[in-house]
Amino acid sequence: MEQNKLLFSFYNKLWSIVSLLLFLFFFSESAFSQVSAKYLVVFKDKNNSPYSISQPFAYLSERSVARRQKQKIAFTTGDLPVNPSYIEEVKKKGAKVIYTSRWMNAALIECSSTVLTSILQLSFVKGLEINTSIDNPNNRTARKSSKFENYETEALNYGLSKTQIEMIGADKMHEQGFHGEGMMIAVLDAGFNNANNIAALKPLFDENRIVGTYDFVKKEKAVYEDDGHGTSVLSCMGAYLDGQIVGTAYKASFLLLRSEDAASEYLIEEANWLFAAEYADSVGVDLINSSLGYSTFDDASTSHKYADLNGKTTIAAKAATWAASVGIVCVISAGNEGNDAWRYISTPADADSIITVGAVTALKTYASFSSIGPSADGRVKPDLVAMGQSPAIVSPSGTVSTSNGTSFSSPILCGLVAGFWQANPTLTAMEVIDRLRKSGSQYENPDERLGYGIPDFTRANTPTVVLSTQDESNSLFKAYPNPTSGEITIQLNENKVNQYFTSLMDITGKTLLYQPINSQTFKLSLAHLNTGTYFLRIGNESKSTLVKVLKME
């Protein structure tokens, strides 16, 4: 009997232990499923939206609409906001919606894994673009040094911006009265510490030329208490302190946007870049300067490979290309990895239809830290270069000093772009980029270090234009009239026409048309294209001929 009591007591205790373990297991599983994380959820469509491309003022500013109309850029479904009914359904499932993206048709949400599972089952949800459950800010460890670490900082005296300005002809631009007046530049960066209290930037605030601020990391308007990298970047364009430093576009207006968390590097910062660029578009900016780049992340499993840098794969590159498509000139730092194992440009510097900026010394030679090209798909990168080794900048303390990095060559050049566009207001964004590339010091022989070289305002402002002949002929085909205001006739000088194809490209190399040829004489309509230069190619597997085509009004 006593033995039975002992056995009963033993099994009782054993069951209590097992029950406790089972409780802890299921409780921990349940608790884990309730931990919130951030996810970028992509939707399938914008069907049944209350918004319309025929009523753009419902979701874009007057300035944003005017920029598109001026460049004859059509409104598309990509301009439409995410369907509000989709957002409401996501909220009903228990998620917090942080930001939405028109261009990606997506929403950044915060929820538990259980809620996410139910959201992914909604009929209008396409899937996940980012899973940040492993990017929890609470698990982040601070970097050993800032990703924007300066190579040198030294107190300097009068006129230190002289070399960087004269190198690209910005002094001539200023002499002609173009200082950026009327141009609006969005600066996407890591913060603008103390920018509102610095003497060199005081005119921007006194003249109400800071048109807005927003922090996409903290979801607040305040940007002046965070990292100071953006302050120095802004100074390269907007500073004016007589006798000490003058920015390249010191009379422009600026939109200050924080998209970068300087203490860490996670994929979500590319999503922040997307949201910031869309916001800049909706406000109506003319240009975006971004001295940010992404290649490796604190979570190595999400790091990019060189093959990803084709302008089409990363979130940041897609966002920059979308910005370019709505008529914004994006000026983006190539990166400071020239001396590192990576070596190559980072993203979004790989994007198409933008200006990627490398760095040179005061002697106009390659700065060894400047990231090199080409892009993974073979395009020339960087596009252009400016002084990035020891240019004059303003530190967050207000001191005029020097520093190194493509972080500064980019805004120096961005200010030139703003002034040049001010001087040539009828040009489209792509025409501005084309003119500046052609003004490069090595336009005829670009390379992977300097791209098309150092641009020059005077060369860009007085281009040598060589028009094609009215009846341009070659051994393979004839294309006429050229220039054309609408339609061009192509006459193939070969009999076996079904072996040939025709393609049409813009000045960036982007293919606008590709089709087989089924007739010896046929017509192509260019009526829907903007005024400018295009390239027509006719060929087969063994030979092809390229002809420049001018589209006129």
Give yes or no: 229 in active site. yes
**Catalytic residue (choose from 79, 135, 189, 350):** 189
Q: Which DSSP symbol is given to 81?
A: P
Sign of CA dihedral 191, 314, 353, 57: negative
**Catalytic residue (choose from 253, 401, 407, 441):** 407
Give yes or no: 189 in active site. yes
Q: Which residue is listed with tokens 């010896």?
A: 520
Amino acid at 291: S
Q: Beta strand pairing status for 384-387 and 355-360?
A: parallel
Give yes or no: 179 in active site. no
Contact 287, 410 (CB under 8 A): no
Helices first, then strands: H and E counts in the chain: 13, 23
- First vs last Cα of the chain: how many Å apart? 108
61-77 as b/e: b if 16+ CB within 10 A = eeebbebbeebebebee
| Element containing residue 106 per DSSP (H, E) | strand 106-112
- Residue by residue, DSSP assigns 158-222 as TTTTHHHHHHTTHHHHHHTT-S-TT-EEEEEES--TTGGG-GGGHHHHHTT-EEEEEETTTTBS-
**Catalytic residue (choose from 229, 304, 370, 375):** 229
Helix axes of 113-120 and 2-33: crossing angle, nearest 10 degrees: 60
Coil, strand or helix at 64: helix
Q: Take residue 181 and report the two structure tokens written for it.
A: 């007046």
By C-alpha distance, which of 192, 215, 216 is closest to 204?
192
Known catalytic residues are: 189, 229, 407
